[in-house]
Amino acid sequence: MTQPTRTSPSPLEQMRRRQRVGVSRTSTREGKTSRQLSHEDERLLNQILAKEQDYIDSPVFYEEDAEKRIYEEAPEIAKPDTTWYHPVMDDISATSRTRTVKSAQQVILTGAEERVLFHQFNYARHRVWQLQQDVWARPDKKPTPEQADQLLSWYRRAERIREQIAETNLALVLAMAKRTRMSEVDFADLVSEGNMALLRAVDKFDAGRGFKFSTYACRAILKAFSRQGMKLSKYRQRFPTDFDPKLEKSNYLETKRADFERDAADEVREIVLSNRADLSDVERTVIEHRFGLESGGLEKPMTLEQVGQIIGVTKERVRQIQNKAMEKIRMQLEANFLGTQIEEDQAETVGAS
């Protein structure tokens, strides 16, 4: 069986594919209605068809009964136990660098087992690529329900195997991170970068060349660490000062609050001086002296006792007069606010009509 020629689509063709991706919700086959795709399936299907699937080709894929030999006749590969990984990540400190993983918790794959997994992984991606070509060859560029089901099935199978390979080799990331002497890089960031490099290595590894995956992955992880260190070094050269949280703090709320208090004080002063709150002469005298309104705020406000000496009453009586005057001013402020709101609502109604 001959291998099909793979050509990369142009950027313009990729953009057109993203725009025209779609799928029919229902269809009939042999008199039966196919299942309706969920929104999650449609979203994933659009994502699959938006970009051409990459895979590592192999002559095994084109042999007769390739799918049966790759999946059904292949030996069962043990699933990894990753329960040890989360405690290590939860305790990213000096002790985590010296912590080891128990051998009973690890799955060490042989070269033959790795080839089985990578053939299964790349064959699933190969089938996704074939289905993409069939869909894009259709006049409407949309998959049939059968093609949509197969695309989703093969894509999810590839993702499961990819996750299994990555989880089996998680210890490589921690081992390389402990060996790396990069004190300026946070250990958590280092492990995160290593995990991303591990996933890229799974996508690019060619098991047909006869090498162990750990040989390829360790080099890829160390190169990712090196790039992370160079990136951080360039950043510090460009921004030599340390991060100061105070520089990120906004004074918007404080400024807004100060403006509001200043506007409110001006409104109160205008109400008192124009006597819009119907204050008595005694009440105006108390408010003006207590808050320095008569002098425009230039003089220091007087105490209750000082005001009482001016008008000839006790300081307790001054407090009573002040409270009554403040209540009148508050009612006037509320009336002004309600009047302004009514005018604004009427203006919006007239503008809408």
- Please indicate, yes or no, if residue 346 is contained in any of the structural domains: no
List the one residue out of 148, 154, 155 whose CA is nearest residue 34: 148
Of 215, 238, 261, the position where a domain reaches its end is: 238
| The length of the chain, given as a count of residues | 353
Question: How far is Cα 173 from Cα 248, in angstroms, rounded to an integer?
Answer: 34
Residue 333's CATH number: 1.10.10.10
Please check whether residues 232 and 97 belong to one and the same domain: yes
Query: 146 - beta bridge partners?
Result: none
Please check whether residues 204 and 65 belong to one and the same domain: yes
Q: How many domains does the chain have?
A: 2
Find where tokens 């010296």 sit. 98
Please check whether residues 211 and 273 belong to one and the same domain: no
Query: 33 - beta bridge partners?
Result: 28
- Please indicate, yes or no, if residue 9 is contained in any of the structural domains: no
pLDDT in tens, the chain (353 residues): 556 666 666 665 665 555 545 555 444 444 444 567 888 999 999 999 999 999 999 999 999 899 999 999 888 888 888 777 764 454 444 444 444 555 555 778 888 899 999 999 999 999 999 999 999 999 988 999 999 999 999 999 999 999 999 999 988 998 888 887 676 777 888 888 999 999 999 999 999 888 899 999 999 999 998 888 888 878 777 776 665 666 666 777 888 888 888 887 788 888 888 888 888 888 888 888 887 776 655 567 888 888 888 888 998 999 999 899 889 888 888 887 666 666 666 666 655 55
| 57 neighbors 126 (Cβ within 8 angstroms) | yes
What is the CB neighbour count within 10 angstroms for residue 240?
A: 7
Of 206, 238, 270, the position where a domain reaches its end is: 238
Question: How far is Cα 238 from Cα 231, in angstroms, rounded to an integer?
Answer: 11
Please check whether residues 187 and 288 belong to one and the same domain: no
Q: What is the pTM of this model?
A: 0.58
| 51 neighbors 14 (Cβ within 8 angstroms) | yes
Please check whether residues 182 and 270 belong to one and the same domain: no
Please check whether residues 227 and 272 belong to one and the same domain: no
Q: What is the DSSP string of 122-153?
A: HHHHHHHHHHHHHHHTSTT----HHHHHHHHH
- Please indicate, yes or no, if residue 243 is contained in any of the structural domains: no
Name the residue range of residue 279's domain.
Answer: 252-341
Of 190, 213, 238, the position where a domain reaches its end is: 238
**Which amino acid is present at 280?**
S
